[in-house]
Copies of this chain bind each other. A is one copy, B any other.
Amino acid sequence: MDPSGEEPIRGESNDSVGPTTSSDPSGEAPMRHETSGEEDVDAIITTTTTTTATATNQNGHPKLQPKTPVPSDIQISQDLVREVGLLPIEQVALEAGILPSEVIPWGIAKAKVQLNSTLQRLSDTPDGNYIVCTGINPTPLGEGKSTTTIGLAQALGAILGKKCFACIRQPSQGPTFGIKGGAAGGGYAQVVPMEEFNLHLTGDIHAITAANNLLAAAIDTRMFHEDSQSDEALYKRLCLGEGGKAAKPFSPIMKKRLVKLGIDPNKSPEELTPEERSAFARLDFNKSTITWQRVLDTCDRHLRKIIIGMGVNETIQRRGTVKGVDPREQHSRETGFDITVASEIMAVLSLAKDLKDLRDKLGNMVVGYSNSGMPITADDLGCGGALTVLMKDAIMPTLMQTVERTPVLVHAGPFANIAIGNSSIVADRLALKLVGEDGYVITESGFGADIGMEKLFNIKCRESGLKPKCAVIVATVRALKMHGGGPPVSAGKPLAKEYTEENIPLVSAGCCNLVKHIENAKKFGVEVVVAINQFKTDTDAEMDAVRQASLAAGAFDAVVSNHWAEGGKGAEALGRAVVAACEASNVENFKFLYDLDLPIRTKVETISKEIYGADGVDFSELAERQMEQYERSGFGNLPLCIAKTQYSFSCDAAAKGVPTGFRIFVREIRSCVGAGFLYPICGDIMTIPGLPTRPGFYDVDIDVETGQVIGLF
């Protein structure tokens, strides 16, 4: 399993030193790029480009004329800046209903939105229509979920004149320089400037790196000092000043630990008994239980598994401060780096409801267990406040704009395989208030609906209390052909002719995958609109087959959409279908798949049977022990975030269509107690990708005269 966002096979192929690809991982088919230079002007484009260069959209803004062949993403983004211009971000905010005092401009065409004050002002405003954009099980090339999210938002906002926000995730920067590709959407349905979106953004992921690694350093530092100091010495350094007198009363973070230990928090530090001092000062880590890793937002396979503390050993050997102990045994240990977006702090960012909740969740993160089995939290290490301070700006969503100047909130970036794969609760909440009762918020869910949408509904919506009305499920003829039995689709290799020529039987056979996703979504009580993300080689008959299968499966509607080539205009029909679906939907019908107070085992079984279509679930001995430990520690009532492949309903990436007769094997169950979920792991986990032989960075450079970025995508 690969955490590089939506690009797992390419990630995997890095390790097998395989060929790389120049395809665009934003979900757009590389075929389009590859062939666009050889085609005549596309008929569809011709009919839609009757407006002049000074044409305006419904929202009154000048509009970029789509070109054929469709240029590269960065070219479109730079064309827009040059030919139409960006709307000043303060103006984007104002048109979206955000007051100037609530906006903090933050770099080039980006701004942070003040959270507390804006939500307070709008507390009485009813929420808008909440729509999730998700997809079928994708090919390794991606099926255009981000692009459809942005295209649909452009249709609703710039073409149909609705109040509308797209809420998408910040991409990890690591893969940007490894396997080429961004996550700003693509073609004429993208967030601009795309280089600003894909590089650094407003620093949220960097803040997570800093916070995650401060906590990691705090863990190793504490073990180091506990190994070399008596309880009394530790306690003195932690709580007492010169001469053993309390320099000051216990800090709030220390009182939290005292309460946890059953010690009266109103005592002054010098009043604790020796036993209480020991209990307070010695966290007594069971080193084998430490699950907290360090992180970097870089693709670096050599950091996956490392041995740290070699220098500490040498220092101690030299100084001889730990006598009679083999220093190497003592202070070096095996651990590893994850890519930053895999950090629990990223999951916390996406699930925190406000600043206070952020503080609580960060403090409650469990990093390991003591030798007596007690969970050790960030606040036990004295670190939760500092982590929150490091994250104080990151909790504010970032405002940007689409190529058609409609507003986008970019926030959080967890992977869908090992985390919840959705943008943040606060971005969705803010957007729903800003658009108001008649407006629309489209939030994007990672990977296929079996993981991204399921986690949105069962974890994120449960935490937020927000009720979606409609699920837009993105399907492509290409992916359905694959599910119908077409040859394998691999990044970097030419597509087989089955994918470039009409083949109705293959499409029809593959629609089973789409049908199962539609049925799954309907179990949650939402209306389903299928977005058929159009490729140049798709024929009308193929697309009609998809449409008929969708309607037969109970979809509210199924609409062909051509936003990649045409922008919002290309998604106008999709937009109208979504509006109608929302009108037909009743949020009171929205329901979760399982109750939290069921045993962990039952919850895993429910998701596996109901969503994946498995016959049942088997648990490893480790997973059995972990279930027992979590239920004993009071974590049994958390929702579940199942880690598994996105390429199949099952755990076998090669099982296309709708596999049956399989069981789910849970190898391990990890916990994200602060973020608020458990994650059963079904398959290999690769939590930091590697770079290929010829990484994307070879093409990236800057025009030193203009400052223009070259070759990013």
**Chain A residues in contact with chain B, CB under 8 A?**
15-17, 19-20, 104-108, 112, 116, 173, 177, 195, 199-200, 202-203, 206-207, 209-210, 213-214, 216-218, 220-221, 224-225, 228-229, 234, 237-238, 242, 251-254, 294, 296-312, 314-315, 319, 321, 331, 334, 336, 354-356, 359, 382-386, 388-390, 392-393, 494, 690-695, 697-702, 704-705, 707, 709-712
- CA separation between A300 and B210, bound complex, in Å? 12
Chain B residues contacting A214 (CB-CB under 8 Å) are: 177, 298, 697
Chain B residues contacting A221 (CB-CB under 8 Å) are: 300-302, 690-693, 695
Chain B residues contacting A704 (CB-CB under 8 Å) are: 354-356, 359
A665 nearest CB across to chain B (Å): 19
Q: Which of B210, B237, B699 contacts A297 (CB 8 A)?
A: B210
Chain B residues contacting A299 (CB-CB under 8 Å) are: 217
* Copies of the protein in its oligomer: 2
Contact A15 B315 (CB under 8 A): yes
Contact B693 A225 (CB under 8 A): yes
- A360's nearest neighbour on chain B, judged by CB, is B704
The 5 sampled A-B contact pairs (Cβ below 8 Å) are A199-B389, A210-B298, A304-B312, A305-B311, A359-B702
Q: Which of B311, B385, B707 contacts A304 (CB 8 A)?
A: B311
Given A200-B203, A356-B704, A389-B709, does the pair A251, B301 have CB atoms closer than 8 Å?
no
Chain B residues contacting A195 (CB-CB under 8 Å) are: 389
Contact A199 B390 (CB under 8 A): yes
Given A112-B107, A694-B237, does the pair A388, B701 have CB atoms closer than 8 Å?
yes
A583 nearest CB across to chain B (Å): 39
Chain B residues contacting A695 (CB-CB under 8 Å) are: 218, 221, 382
A212 nearest CB across to chain B (Å): 9
Given A306-B310, A697-B218, does the pair A237, B383 have CB atoms closer than 8 Å?
no
Given A15-B315, A206-B200, A393-B107, does the pair A691, B218 have CB atoms closer than 8 Å?
yes
Q: Which of B107, B302, B702 contacts A308 (CB 8 A)?
A: B302
A413 nearest CB across to chain B (Å): 15
Q: Which of B294, B301, B385, B393 contacts A200 (CB 8 A)?
A: B393
Contact A17 B229 (CB under 8 A): yes
- Which of A384, A393, A698 has the most B CB atoms < 10 Å from its CB? A698
Chain B residues contacting A298 (CB-CB under 8 Å) are: 210, 213-214, 216-217
- CA separation between A592 and B476, bound complex, in Å? 68
Given A359-B704, A389-B702, does the pair A308, B303 have CB atoms closer than 8 Å?
yes
17 more contacts with CB within 8 A, not counting A203-B203, A359-B701, are A16-B319, A17-B228, A106-B107, A173-B210, A200-B210, A206-B210, A209-B296, A221-B692, A221-B695, A253-B698, A254-B698, A302-B309, A305-B314, A311-B336, A356-B704, A359-B702, A385-B702
A247 nearest CB across to chain B (Å): 8
- A384's nearest neighbour on chain B, judged by CB, is B701
Chain B residues contacting A251 (CB-CB under 8 Å) are: 698-699
Contact A307 B307 (CB under 8 A): yes
Q: Which of B15, B107, B242, B697 contacts A386 (CB 8 A)?
A: B697
Contact A302 B393 (CB under 8 A): no
Chain B residues contacting A494 (CB-CB under 8 Å) are: 242
A8 nearest CB across to chain B (Å): 16
- A217's nearest neighbour on chain B, judged by CB, is B300
Contact A302 B312 (CB under 8 A): yes
- CA separation between A412 and B383, bound complex, in Å? 28
A299 nearest CB across to chain B (Å): 6
A203 nearest CB across to chain B (Å): 4
- A334's nearest neighbour on chain B, judged by CB, is B310
Contact B700 A385 (CB under 8 A): yes
A355 nearest CB across to chain B (Å): 5
A120 nearest CB across to chain B (Å): 11
Chain B residues contacting A228 (CB-CB under 8 Å) are: 17
Contact A220 B701 (CB under 8 A): no
A78 nearest CB across to chain B (Å): 14
The 10 lowest CB-CB distance pairs between A and B, nearest first, are: A385-B701, A305-B311, A304-B311, A386-B697, A206-B206, A217-B300, A105-B105, A356-B704, A305-B310, A237-B693
Chain B residues contacting A388 (CB-CB under 8 Å) are: 701-702
- CA separation between A392 and B314, bound complex, in Å? 39
Chain B residues contacting A314 (CB-CB under 8 Å) are: 305
- A107's nearest neighbour on chain B, judged by CB, is B106
Q: Which of B116, B237, B321, B697 contacts A385 (CB 8 A)?
A: B697
Chain B residues contacting A15 (CB-CB under 8 Å) are: 315
- A20's nearest neighbour on chain B, judged by CB, is B237
Q: Which of B17, B386, B691 contacts A217 (CB 8 A)?
A: B691
Chain B residues contacting A252 (CB-CB under 8 Å) are: 701
Chain B residues contacting A709 (CB-CB under 8 Å) are: 389, 392
Contact B107 A220 (CB under 8 A): no
